[in-house]
Amino acid sequence: QVQLVESGGGLVQAGGSLTLSCAATGIIFSINTMGWYRQAPGKQRELVATIATAGSTKSADSVKGRFTISRDNAKTTVYLIMNSLKPKDTAVYYCYLGQRFADYWGQGTQVTVSS
């Protein structure tokens, strides 16, 4: 079983910054992908950014240049540094881990950006 524990959400003014963290515990295989998705009210969950064990990344066009994803493989922790936040970034952010055809999700952390 895998558990994902997120931290770092909150309320910030437009233009501000936040850093999200997610620690994975349980049976974690050496090859996996971790990352973040988000879901705004009334919208579908969407990719924010992911990072594989080897370091390759994917990110949504809407966050490129503003958000940075990184990971600490020794700690099985993934980070999302969010700069230049905009009100449209307001959403519940979910941590994700994918390995061996199984997907795992955190409970979500609220990020609210005020204008």
> What is the per-residue pLDDT across 4-61, written as a single tens digit (0 to 9) for each?
999 999 999 999 999 999 999 999 998 999 999 999 999 999 999 999 999 999 999 9
Q: Check if the beta carbon of residue 5 is closer than 8 Å to that of residue 22.
A: yes
Q: How far apart are the first and last CA of the chain?
A: 40
CB atoms within 10 A of CB 103: 10
Is the model's pLDDT at 75 over the cut of 80? no
Distance, CA of 58 to CA of 69 (rounded, Å): 9
